[in-house]
Structure 1
Amino acid sequence: MNFRFITYILGWIFNFQSGFLLITYIISLFLGEKSGNAFLISAIICAVTGAIFTYKKPSNKAFYAKDGFTAVALGWIVVSITGALPFLISGEIPSVFDALFETISGYTTTGATILSDVEALSKCMLFWRSFTHWIGGMGVLVFVLCIIPLAGGNNMHLMRAESPGPSVGKLVPRVNSTALILYGIYTALTVAECILLLCGGMSLFEAVTTSFATAGTGGFGIRNSSMAEYSMYIQNVVAVFMALFGVNFTIYFLALVKKPKEILKSDELKAYIGIILIATVVIGFNIRSAFPSLGSAMQQSFFQVASIITTTGFSTADFNLWPSLSKTILVAIMFVGACAGSTGGGIKVSRIVIAWRNVRNEIASFVHPKSVNITHMDGKKVKKEVVKSINTYLVLYFIVFVVSVLLISLENYSFETNFTSVAATLNNIGPGLDQVGPMENFGKFNPFSKCIFMFDMLAGRLELIPMVILFSPMLWKKK
């Protein structure tokens, strides 16, 4: 383990975090809010720490997969702790556990909150909450790699450890160029949504914060009612962009380089669109009696389906009150999640598709023992290593989920609350059902349960492995 180089990487994360905090401080000056001084103090703390860690570049540049996983896991813990400082210093969220919960929820783009009155926060704090979504959506290390090459030819270890999905590859030969392209697409989509929201009558502050929360598929709203008070035009714009940010960003790159045939080959994209359409239609018909017309029911259904499958977590209605079938479908797509290589959470559509096809082939081999069945994705053979990694992920996911539900159940809330609260945090969604429904919050849980949720949010955002490895005794043993 190259601890010196990992420390160097963490130093750069402190440096960038200082810059993010300073941006928010400048915005607080424009808003004329004294609570913004908390961001200046936090930025100075990060800048000093970062300067110490990056003062001397390490001579040993050997950097392997386990180093990448460790650096990413520690890096996310660093941004979570430092990102909580403004809440604590300003006193707007005085509890350490609550401040950490809110910050981790922001960076992991979960959108679960401990706040019962979001509108009581100052505007600069509301901006910071949404800004953490935008930073965390594409990834902290991916952002750093846009600017500086940290580990020479081993940068891919960092990107693979942080990027969501069963496999991550380069769009272009250089990793930092790939990161730059990804963030270019990410920024362009964010700006496009912001412009459309401004056209719908939103103020600049509302448009920016909503676009940040949508882009990162996070769902932190600046109103207690989330998106319910906004016009149907604004709701539709947000719903469409939630769905767009749930698409694998490689698809947008292929569109830019004009390769439509490659886009049409994407089995994941077809499955993603199909799930959204089927879920929207079924839920729309199921809830039609609660709305003035079938059209408005379909509109509300599409918004909520797009919000849940992309793990954004915005809401326009209390779906906790919807019929059982609709709630069951929403819980099911909580686990499915968005596409690999998007800003969304969940298990990922590609994993579901590959796992299903692998199961189908295994069943076929029992029926026809002499047949040769190969799992394909996008017209290509899926490597055994990928299938193995997916199986490992699913088993680990199941273990973490079950253990988390058991630990949360110690508080003696309803099974629906316990089950969906873990589903909402591990899949980085935000709202669940019952006591954690869209009109509720996580503030009622005790510090122990909040720690479980915080671990689940980080583990879910980092695809489990980095966080599990970090707590594995084998990592820290000297050979």
Structure 2
Amino acid sequence: MRKTKLFNYHLIISIIGILLVINSMFMLFCLPFSLYYNEDNWVAITAAALINGIIGGGSFYYSQKKSPSKDLKKKDGYLIVTLGWIFISFFGGLPYLLSGDIPSLTDAFFETLSGYSTTGASVLTDIEAVGKGILLWRSLTQWIGGMGIIVLTVAILPILGIGGMQLFVAEAPGISPDKLQPRIKETAKRLWWVYLGLTFTEMILLMIGDMSFYDALNHALTTMATGGFSTKNSSAAAMSPFIQYVIIIFMFIAGTNFTLNYYLFKGRFKDILKNEEFKYYASIVGGSTLLLSCIVFFALSTEGGKDFWEVIYAEWGSSIVLLERAEKSFRDVLFQVISIITTTGYVSADYTGWTTFATMWIFVLMFIGGMAGSTAGGVKIVRHIILQKNSFLELKRQLHPSAIIPVRFNHMAVSQSITYNVLGFIIAYFLTYALGILVMAAMGLDLLTAMGSVATCLGNIGPGLGTVGPVDNFAHLPDGAKWFLSFMMLLGRLELTTVIIIFTPYFWKKV
């Protein structure tokens, strides 16, 4: 009697090989930029692409010869996604290592995984000193990871006769990924076409705002991925108001469910406006912006111990000054609120320099996240909605214990299993966060930095608090902290379950 294998190991190696080949192809896209700007790092990029291509292609060829089986089980999907992200991060760091821009393996892995996971936490202290080809690769890692390299692979796998639903669910393990088409391959293709179209549109608008083609390309790639890597040391702080507003709009779009973005292309505006999660998303952004704008405007007007009303009265005749100050307060707050809630992580102002209340409000936004089905990280708004509704209904059930009162979302009853899934995820998320703070504190970090670093990496945000705030970076952290935070980034990007399940004993047992 033939024994059933626990995993289809050869198929796992085959698909990881495909991921490395895709990695190689994207690296080669950076090569013309290095050559155009007459940079020596074209050698490092070419060598890195060849290593990825040879190892990936060899793995695929070897595994296909050894076992032609295309049977992909659910366990295989979890293992492929987790190992796939780890392998592409190791091999994706080769351009940094070979060029010497990031000579440390720890830093190169951290920067690469930060890119793929669209976290945006960086160890680079002088971004503008890095070569153009390398910076473009840095931006591309975020663009690839934003929609998901596995989702891209899902669009390719049917050509090889391999089904992709197990991988799609493992990489996007939210409540339920919306399918635009009955076949998962067609869904993956449409998602990528929408993603590509929005990226191109933003790039054109940034160029209209007098941004160079190279900078516009990089910022369009990292905005739509909600990643936040910039080609400038000052991030978005030195950009013109027009460019900042363009980035604001596209950060908001990127934090929206891509099914709704698909409806946008189709002109189905009613379907967007009646979506309950979108209403919450817009309300949180609008409410936070209104509140914090008033606080920041007040703080700006009372700098140096000035009385607010005396300042307003004295400058009332010079309404332009007041309007400029009000517009800047509004723009800075709107930019940072959307940047944090969508987990993009661009910086236009140092929010830790605002009032304590405003800084803590921004910190709370780190635990909200964008909409499910978007490129944003974090807990996701739909989970907060279901948690909130279930909590209120529990009070009602205490009064009417025999009544069946389901949680409703978008006018549809939410199954009990989904409600339990949401509760379990949120508990696991905050337990992971608490454990992360303890680990970072044990490594010698102060409490504020420990809280900020774990929150920003687990939520895939970028800037945090303390010494990893919006005007700092992660270069000074010890290597152990960087490896741990890399793990937090992976957990956050794959929404805990996909990674954690691999560490459970029953995952490795035959059923």
CA contact (8 A) 1:64 1:154 kept: no
C-alpha distance in structure 2 between counterparts of 1:222 and 1:363, whole Å: 51
Paired residues of 2:118 and 2:227 also in contact (CA < 8 A): yes
**Given the alignment of the two structures, is residue 34 of structure 1 paired with residue 43 of structure 2, yes or no?**
no
Distance 1:324 1:436, change over 3 A: same
For 2:31, the equivalent position in structure 1 comes to 25
Counterpart of 1:13, as a letter, is: L
Instruction: Measure how far apart 1:153 and its partner are.
Output: 7.2
Letter in 1 for 2:203: C
Residue 358 of structure 1 corresponds to 390
- Equivalences for 1:322-337 in 2 at 5 Å? 322-337=354-369
Tell whether the 8 Å contact from 1:164 to 1:341 is kept in structure 2 after alignment: no
Q: Which residue of 2 aligns with 1:194?
A: 203
Whole-angstrom CA distance in 1 between matches of 2:140 and 2:106: 20
- Maintained 8 Å contact 1:426/1:460: yes
Q: TM-score, with normalisation over the residues of structure 1? A: 0.96
Q: 2:104 aligns with which of 77, 91, 95?
A: 95
Structure with max Cα Rg: 2
**What is the aligned partner in structure 2 of residue 81 from structure 1?**
90
The 1-side partners of 2:504 and 2:263 are apart by 39
State whether structure 2 residue 224 is matched by structure 1 residue 215: yes
Q: Secondary structure at the match of 2:397?
A: helix
1:258 is displaced (CA, Å) by: 4.7
String of CA shifts for 1:335-360, please: whole Å, max 9, x gaps: 10000000000000011111111111
Contact 1:15 1:50 in 2 (8 A): yes
**Among residues 362, 365, 373, which one is paired with 1:341 in the alignment?**
373
1:203 corresponds to: 212
Alignment of 1:414-425 (within 5 A): 414-425=446-457
2:289 and 2:330 in contact (8 A); partners too: yes
Kindly state the Cα deviation for residue 151 of structure 1 after the two structures are TM-superposed.
Answer: 7.8
In 1, the alpha carbon distance for the partners of 2:274 and 2:496 equals 29
* Structure 1 pair 241–135 and aligned structure 2 pair: CA distance change class (3 A): same
Task: Kindly state the Cα deviation for residue 43 of structure 1 after the two structures are TM-superposed.
Answer: 1.1
Which of the numbers 34, 41, 44 marks the counterpart of 2:50? 44
Q: Is the 8 A contact 2:157 2:164 kept in 1?
A: no
Secondary structure at the aligned position of 2:41 is classed as helix
Letter in 2 for 1:290: L
Matched ranges for 1:69-148 at <5 A:
69-148=78-157
CA distance in 2 between partners of 1:380 and 1:137 (Å): 29
Gaps of 5+ in 1: none
Contact 1:6-1:71 within 8 A present in 2 as well: yes
Cα deviation, residue 477, structure 1: 4.2
- 1:217/1:312 contact within 8 Å kept: yes
* Equivalent in the alignment of 1:4: 10
Q: How many residues align?
A: 479
Corresponding residue number in structure 1 for 2:464: 432
CA gap 1:259/1:227 in 2 versus in 1, 3 angstroms: closer
TM-score calculated relative to the size of structure 2 = 0.91
Question: Partner of 2:289: helix, strand, or coil?
Answer: helix
- 2:464 maps to a residue whose letter is G
AA paired with 2:70? K
Q: 1:225 aligns with which of 209, 221, 234?
A: 234
The 3 A distance-change label for structure 1 pair 332 and 169 is same
- Structure 2 residue identity aligned to 1:211: A
- Unpaired runs of 5+ residues, structure 2, are 1-6, 302-323
Residues 1:455 and 2:492 are matched in the alignment: no
Q: Output the amino acid matched with 1:25.
A: L
Equivalent pair of 2:157/2:163 in contact (CA under 8 Å): no
Residue deviations 1:36-61 (CA, integer Å, cap 9, x gap):
21111111111111222221534322
Distance in 2, Cα, partners of 1:256 & 1:223 = 32
User: Percent identity at matched positions?
Assistant: 38
Distance across 1 between alignment mates of 2:331 and 2:398: 44
- In structure 1, C-alpha distance between the alignment counterparts of 2:417 and 2:271, rounded to whole Å: 23
- 3-state SS of paired residue (1:396): helix
**Does residue 235 of structure 1 match 2:244?**
yes
The answer as to 2:187 corresponding to 1:178 is yes
Shift of 1:27: 2.4
Contact 1:63–1:151 at 8 Å: present in 2 too?
A: no
**Alignment-derived partner of residue 14 in structure 1:** 20
Query: More displaced, 299-308 or 249-258?
Result: 249-258
Q: CA deviation at 1:63?
A: 1.7
Could you tell me which residue of structure 2 aligns to residue 466 of structure 1?
A: 498
Question: 288-297 or 417-426: which moved more?
Answer: 288-297
Q: Write the distance in 1 (CA, Å) between the matches of 2:201 and 2:264.
A: 17
Give the structure 2 partner of residue 60 of structure 1. 69
Whether the 8 Å CA contact 1:84–1:100 is kept in 2: the answer is yes
